[in-house]
Amino acid sequence: MRKPIRVLIIDDSAVVRQTLAQLLASDPDIEVMAAVVDPLVAVEKIKSEVPDVITLDIEMPRMDGITFLRKLMSQHPIPVVVCSSLVEPGDETTLRALEYGAVEIVTKPKVGTKKFLEESAIRICDAVKAAAQARIKPFRGGRDMEVAPKLSADAVLAAGKPQALRTTEKIALVGASTGGTEALRVFLEAMPLDCPPLAIVQHMPEHFTQAFANRLNAGCRISVREARDGDSMLRGQALIAPGNKHMLLKRSGARYYVEVKDGPLVSRHRPSVDVLFRSGANYAGKNVVAAIMTGMGDDGARGMRELFDAGAFTIAQDEASCVVFGMPQEAIKHGGVQKILSLEAIAGEMVRRCNSG
């Protein structure tokens, strides 16, 4: 019998501490070690007992979460899931937490519909499980949970025969999750100015994707931005799926564009890599070069097999360079991967394949 994942909750709100503790304790694979009011109390706890995972608020008295995270990851790295309330678009505080070594970002549960709370519970527990599996590098510079049905891409888009036109224009599709914020930075910074059109799904909450795209855009030669419904797929541009929305590749004549839409969670995610990849198989087929990167779970595995069957060229990030090998591993198991590459090699291979005609 596996040992449960032991979690230390750090949050100055008693309501949030109680809610998080209840949500986590409802999963039989997770045990709440303690729930404390601020990082200084947490430090004393860690001295006597080291948790497997920490959930961390950002705004707290005595020491803020960012300062604590930076100190923790430079001195005693422990997997951290940042639990933050929804922020205003453009806020980059939580993205800085990812740079310092946080494994995941989740939004704090708020009062709302039963569906929202159920989705929050699943996402938080999945984030903790992903963090427990993550390879952490030092920063340098109770009740059985009621699980909602795990839907496939059928819930958003029916599978169909590829409708790709004969064209020399290739489209690049990418999916990532845990560890993907850093992986995508490395990947996109390696892209040349005239890179193929890129559509990317990174599992990330609503509002964070705008700031994430802005940060990437500032550091890359190519244009990177959050996708809007109807945006054309253009060379030298990467479109990031908005948090809490699905993104699909569509075609009108010889023009490729993206559709951004609502819909149920697919493979427990919105946006879902499976949805993007299926749309690529349906509308672009052999004109796609796709990559699946670091992440927990199996989102993208079925979609990548559909791309493979439609004639696309498919790549998976290798285990050695992944923070969590889950998503690439599942895609490999489904038989949809043609090439396994290190993170640093993926951009060059995608460009070569897209330019090969």
In whole angstroms, what separates CA 187 from the centre of its chain?
15
β 171-176/80-84 pair status: unpaired
267 annotated active-site: no
Q: What single DSSP character describes residue 315?
A: E
- Active-site entry in 11, 27, 126, 177: 177
Strand order in the sheet with 80-84: 30-36, 5-10, 53-56, 80-84, 104-107
Backbone angles phi, psi at 335, to 5 degrees: 80, 20
- Whole-angstrom CA distances from 252 to 164, 225, 230, 235, 283 are 11, 22, 11, 17, 10
How does DSSP assign 173-210, residue by residue? EEEE-TTHHHHHHHHHHT--TTPPPEEEEE---TTHHH
- Active-site entry in 27, 84, 203, 321: 203
Adjacent-strand bridge partners of 35: 9
144 annotated active-site: no
Query: Residue 286 burial (CB < 10 Å; 0-12/13-18/19+)?
Result: middle
Taking a C-beta distance cutoff of 8 angstroms, is the pair 230, 259 a contact?
yes
246's enclosing H/E stretch is strand 246-252
- Active-site entry in 38, 299, 318, 321: 299
163: left (phi over 0), alpha (psi -120 to 50) or beta: alpha
Query: Residue 137 burial (CB < 10 Å; 0-12/13-18/19+)?
Result: exposed
Q: Which two tokens stand for residue 152?
A: 């496939």
232 annotated active-site: no
The amino acid that residue 26 corresponds to is S
Alpha helices in the chain (DSSP H): 14-25, 39-48, 65-75, 93-100, 114-133, 180-189, 208-219, 273-283, 301-309, 326-333, 343-355
Residues annotated as part of the active site: 177, 203, 299
